[in-house]
Amino acid sequence: MGKINAIITGVGGYVPDYVLNNEELSRMVDTTDEWITTRVGIKERRILTEEGLGTSYLARKAAKQLIQKTGVDPDSIDALIVTTTTPDYKFPSTASIVLGKLGLKNAFAFDFEAACCGFLYSLDVAAAMIQSGRYKKIIVIGADKMSSLVDYTDRQTCVLFGDGAGAVLVEASDEDGYGVQNSYLRTDGQGLPFLHMKAGGSVCPPSHFTVDHRLHYLYQEGRTVFRYAVTDMSNDVTKILEMNNLTADDVNWVVPHEANLRIIEAVTKRAGIPMEKVVVNIEHYGNTSAATIPLALWDHESKLKRGDNVIFTAFGAGFVHGASYYKWAYDGGTSSAATK
């Protein structure tokens, strides 16, 4: 039995219809379009405004599109992974809800939490599952309803985040040289004070006090997070290139976590990779946490060519960070599985 490779065979995505642009935000908090654009590179973000809908809705819409695009038999799916920081409920898992809505009869499902690194980590987990030989088809979804955590009176954080979901189908292949090549993933473990939500967990359960003191919103110490993100992501990209005997010239695309345009520019500059090789869509969606990388693939899919060397990199709360090297397996512009 030859080596089993784990390849992405299709990408799906979904963002809500409602567009929250900088002009509208400037009427909500003391900010301006110029301030936001200059500092983070965001012009607008999508927000799920319908009452009673959560992350599972975003994830289901992305996965449904993925299934329709690829034409995969839903009964052939072995597993479904949803990576999110904003689950519908503490339990059951958001993945179980998505699986039920999609009607997948032969799959098991679980949630995976690694903040903004969730998709990067989950893709590696799915690849390992495929390479074990026990599974052949896995759907990996990065989805977050970040608006549910955002304090829209805090101008430092409310300008950053949006809602969305991206999904990929990961399949087994015996064709050598394509798919997930390897990864360099790390967890710092020192990030708690700088990026977290104070209440809602077992350390500080919900109470009248936590609600009255607005402790159920995202807290971020921006300068510290920025510094760690630039250092770790640039080091991780350099490391993954060294591990695979690649130079910046060998890279066709870098697909980074879309947190802040200045972070992306600093990371790729340090790694010696020009911005024309970097996939960026933060202007339209903001930071959608675990959804940013698959949404970037969804937006950029038509430009991806079979054999392209793709570097993924991300950074998130914890601090979690890493990079991976992926060899793209199909022509996005011509494949029937790549039609939006």
Active site residues: 116, 257, 287
Task: Tally the residues of the chain.
Answer: 340
Count of beta carbons in the 10 Å neighbourhood of residue 195 = 22
Contacts of 132 (CB under 8 A, 6+ apart): 4
